[in-house]
Amino acid sequence: MLKKPTLAGGGGDREVELQKGWQHHRIDKSTLTAYVFHFTPVFVPLLIQVFNNAPPIRPSQNLFPVFSSHRHHCLHPLISSVPNLKSKSNFVILITRKRHRNRLIFGVSSSAMVFYRSVSLLSKLRNRVVQQPSLTNSVRWLQIQTSSDLDLHAQLKELIPEQQERLKKIKSDYGKVELGNITVDMVLGGMRGMTGLLWETSLLDPDEGIRFRGLSIPECQKVLPAAKSGGEPLPEGLLWLLLTGKVPTKEQVDALSKELRSRATIPDHVYKTIDALPVTAHPMTQFTTGVMALQVQSEFQKAYEKGIHKSKYWEPTFEDSLSLIAQVPAVAAYVYRRMYKGGERIAVDESLDYGANFAHMLGFDGPEMQELMRLYVTIHSDHEGGNVSAHTGHLVASALSDPYLSFAAALNGLAGPLHGLANQEVLLWIKSVVAECGENITTDQLKDYVLKTLNSGKVVPGFGHGVLRKTDPRYMCQREFALKHLPNDPLFQLVSKLYDVVPPILTELGKVKNPWPNVDAHSGVLLNYYGLTEARYFTVLFGVSRAIGICSQLIWDRALGLPLERPKSVTMEWLEKKCKK
Ligand code: NMX
Ligand code: MLT
């Protein structure tokens, strides 16, 4: 029988909770973080040096030594779960971390001595090891599959110092390396082809399309956890991937789902703020207004007013970002219910994941619509940093505006017809084709309609792209979804026909750099098929998804201490003078 560990500095509920966990000799997988190091004696002097130089724990840091006695007993269940650990290691240190009512409780123990130090030591330790390659082979960093793996915040906290070092090294080693010339065409042409932003979460290849942390969409569909075997990826999994660069386990995704549900409640004033707008206001206006109303809860703003140190900016940014991601589906769903379903709200269902819950709150509970929403939210989330919405969010955030302010700004860019509003335009345009020519439109009739659109000085919505030079893989995966679930839908068949008809016409114009369909060419007909027929609403769905990408990068902007964005502008006169020289 293990003896209860006593909790120094704690008491009341906290003590009961901790003791309960240990009494049953269980590691509470949802809350406990455990790190085990084991290493050879060569590493010991360095370790002692690091710990000796560490600042002592101050009560204000909310750090409490957890094990004041019987620590070997406490260690036992963890140590024994690591194969061969005892036999291989000469020295073991265990650091536990417990989240309790948003306070972090740390305990540090070892088989030889007890250290009560903050978790920042871990980062220090890792950095020292990274800097001294001769030692890396003598240290094995192990993360036991307990709650450390389930706690996204803890994972980020571990990753950040390495990435900060990496950025520092890039700056010092390559700071003066040229990445290309800036031409007058680039300055006048919307900065096309000009590399000017750091964006860690995704990278767009003109031919292959988007890669989220290196993974293409088909790869994400394969490796990210799904709600059911072979199903579409869960957006929470993508969020985890974007933030950490690691493919999460199903357990991690479930923990994040739960975390997001726990943050999903919308303050009442948000509904009232939206209600102040005419119900006929564009859904994007209502949605952005709702996001602005959420801003009053910003932890970043509060922390900044209290004088938070810049090294800690990422923490309240993380809090805001997670809350924002958790809450935008309910805000968006309210806009939909208010505009089209008489205003009756549907509450979060505690048994559902993020995508399915969003569909549910909109009023759609069919399993195929749930799958569509999971896919939709996953693929629209991020498209590297230069697109209008992501770039706007990043720019505004660079002024240290909080995630709500930054994301609301991003949404205003998304609401433009050349960007996110194109999904609305596509379905309206398709419906206008059907209204004029019927569903069984011939190829010639369709060609005429496309030419009529172009001749009236409009773009063909859903085709073309600022970076892509091939068919958007987001279009392709939606097409595959349609082939699987709605192959006979007349509007899907019309979309397929457009794939044959539009690119040659756009190519013929001689100026369109990419005649192929983009993500927006397909999404509307899928939603329409499942009963979400209100095209004006579609960009709101895009916006919900994009919160995941923009906020993920924003956390990294803060963690990496990226600076205020402020490029140089020039006048035509300046250009003329410069170029004549
Ligand atoms: N229909 C007609 N003309 C087009 C199209 C199109 N789909 N795409 C490009 N062009 C024209 C473009 O307007 C420009 O004409 P002009 O020189 O007379 O101003 C010319 O072709 C060259 O444009 P590009 O360099 O090929 O494209 P750019 O990078 O400037 O713009 C888009 C990219 C996406 C804004 C453009 O292709 C477009 O307007 N597409 C239709 C709207 C759309 O689907 N937007 C959604 C994009 C994806 N998203 O979600 O954001
Ligand atoms: C996006 O998803 O943001 C669009 O495809 C536009 C872009 O990448 O420029």
What would the pLDDT profile of 417-463 be if each residue is shown by its tens digit?
Answer: 999 999 999 999 999 999 999 988 999 999 999 999 999 999 999 99
Bridge partners of residue 99, in order along the sequence: 104
Q: How far apart are CA 4 and CA 23, in angstroms?
A: 6
Q: Which ligand is nearest to the CA of 390?
A: 2
The number of beta carbons lying within 10 Å of the beta carbon of residue 341 is 13
C-alpha 512 – ligand 1 centre gap (Å): 7
C-alpha 93 – ligand 2 centre gap (Å): 47
Cα→Cα distances 63→92, 118, 124, 155, 317, Å: 21, 7, 18, 18, 21
* Active site (annotated) includes residue 520: yes
* Active site (annotated) includes residue 391: no
Return the residue whose CA atom lies nearest to atom 6 of ligand 2: 387
The reported pTM is: 0.79
Cα→Cα distances 374→54, 266, 320, 324, Å: 45, 22, 23, 18
Q: How far apart are CA 417 and CA 428, in angstroms?
A: 12
Bridge partners of residue 216, in order along the sequence: 211
Q: Is 522 in the pocket of ligand 1 (CB under 6 A)?
A: no
Of 293, 11, 191, the closest CA to residue 570 belongs to 191
Q: What is the residue whose two structure tokens read 């939210």?
A: 377
* Active site (annotated) includes residue 419: yes
Q: How far apart are CA 383 and CA 368, in angstroms?
A: 25
Return the residue whose CA atom lies nearest to atom 21 of ligand 1: 512
So what's the pLDDT on residue 72? 35
**Site to substitute for ligand 2 among 204, 477, 519, 541, most atoms within 8 A of C-beta:** 519
Cβ atoms of 424 and 412 within 8 Å: the answer is: no
Answer whether residue 35 shows pLDDT above 70: no
C-alpha 380 – ligand 2 centre gap (Å): 9
So what's the pLDDT on residue 149? 77
Return the residue whose CA atom lies nearest to atom 23 of ligand 1: 512
Atom nearest to 387 CA in ligand 1: 51
Return the residue whose CA atom lies nearest to atom 48 of ligand 1: 419
One DSSP character per residue, 215-239 reads EEHHHHHHHS-BSSTT-PBPHHHHH
So what's the pLDDT on residue 235? 98
Type of residue numbered 243 = L
Which residues lie below 8 Å from residue 551, measured CB to CB, with a gap of 6+? 321, 322, 324, 325, 403, 407
How many residues in the chain?
A: 581
Answer whether residue 57 shows pLDDT above 90: no
Q: How far apart are CA 169 and CA 522, in angstroms?
A: 43
Which residues lie below 8 Å from residue 150, measured CB to CB, with a gap of 6+? 29, 30, 251, 252, 255
Answer whether residue 403 shows pLDDT above 70: yes
Cβ atoms of 382 and 201 within 8 Å: the answer is: yes
Cα→Cα distances 112→51, 90, 91, 382, 393, Å: 14, 10, 7, 48, 50
Instruction: Tokens for 475, please give them.
Output: 């279009």
pLDDT band at 75 (very low <50, low <70, confident <90, very high): very low
Of 530, 517, 485, 173, the closest CA to residue 360 belongs to 530
Give the H/E segment covering residue 139.
Answer: strand 139-143
Strands, sheet with 209-212, edge to edge from the N-terminal-most edge strand:
202-205, 209-212, 215-216
Atom nearest to 464 CA in ligand 1: 37
Helices (DSSP H) in 89-151: which residue ranges? 120-131, 133-136, 147-150
Q: Which of 61-75, 516-530, 539-553 has the lowest mean pLDDT?
A: 61-75
Answer whether residue 404 shows pLDDT above 50: yes
C-alpha 372 – ligand 1 centre gap (Å): 27
Query: What are the strands, taking DSSP E only, across 7-47?
Result: 32-39
Cα→Cα distances 92→407, 436, 450, Å: 44, 75, 70
The number of beta carbons lying within 10 Å of the beta carbon of residue 352 is 18
Q: Which of 86-95, 395-404, 514-523, 534-543 has the lowest mean pLDDT?
A: 86-95
The number of beta carbons lying within 10 Å of the beta carbon of residue 241 is 26
The residue from 465, 472, 522, 557 that is catalytic is 465
Q: Is 420 in the pocket of ligand 1 (CB under 6 A)?
A: yes
pLDDT band at 557 (very low <50, low <70, confident <90, very high): very high
Give the H/E segment covering residue 203.
Answer: strand 202-205
pLDDT band at 88 (very low <50, low <70, confident <90, very high): very low
Q: What is the CA radius of gyration of the chain?
A: 27
Answer whether residue 339 shows pLDDT above 80: yes
So what's the pLDDT on residue 402? 98
Answer whether residue 183 shows pLDDT above 90: yes
Return the residue whose CA atom lies nearest to atom 8 of ligand 2: 387
Of 327, 201, 315, the closest CA to residue 260 belongs to 327
Cα→Cα distances 353→146, 236, 261, Å: 22, 8, 8
So what's the pLDDT on residue 382? 98
Type of residue numbered 230 = G
Cβ atoms of 417 and 535 within 8 Å: the answer is: no
Instruction: Tokens for 490, please give them.
Output: 């007349």
Q: Which ligand is nearest to the CA of 421?
A: 1
Cα→Cα distances 9→60, 110, 230, 269, Å: 12, 20, 49, 39
Proportion of the chain above pLDDT 70, given as a percent: 75
Answer whether residue 4 shows pLDDT above 50: no
Answer whether residue 120 shows pLDDT above 70: no
Answer whether residue 106 shows pLDDT above 50: no
So what's the pLDDT on residue 581? 86
Q: Is 511 in the pocket of ligand 1 (CB under 6 A)?
A: yes
Of 169, 178, 172, the closest CA to residue 130 belongs to 169
Q: Calculate mean pLDDT across residues 72-79.
A: 38
Answer whether residue 135 shows pLDDT above 90: no
Q: What percent of the residues of the chain are helix, what percent strand, and what percent coil, each to the nearest 5?
A: 55, 10, 35
Q: How far apart are CA 472 and CA 475, in angstroms?
A: 5
Q: Calculate mean pLDDT across residues 396-403.
A: 98
Q: Is 387 in the pocket of ligand 2 (CB under 6 A)?
A: yes
Q: How far apart are CA 548 and CA 238, in angstroms?
A: 8
Q: Which ligand is nearest to the CA of 465?
A: 1
Answer whether residue 52 shows pLDDT above 60: no
Answer whether residue 262 shows pLDDT above 50: yes
Cβ atoms of 211 and 203 within 8 Å: the answer is: yes
Type of residue numbered 562 = L
Q: Calculate mean pLDDT across residues 489-518.
A: 98
Q: What angle do CA 318, 316, 304 make, to 5 degrees?
A: 145
Q: Note the Cα 303 to chain centre separation in Å.
A: 22
So what's the pLDDT on residue 30? 35
So what's the pLDDT on residue 19? 28
The residue from 149, 353, 402, 520 that is catalytic is 520
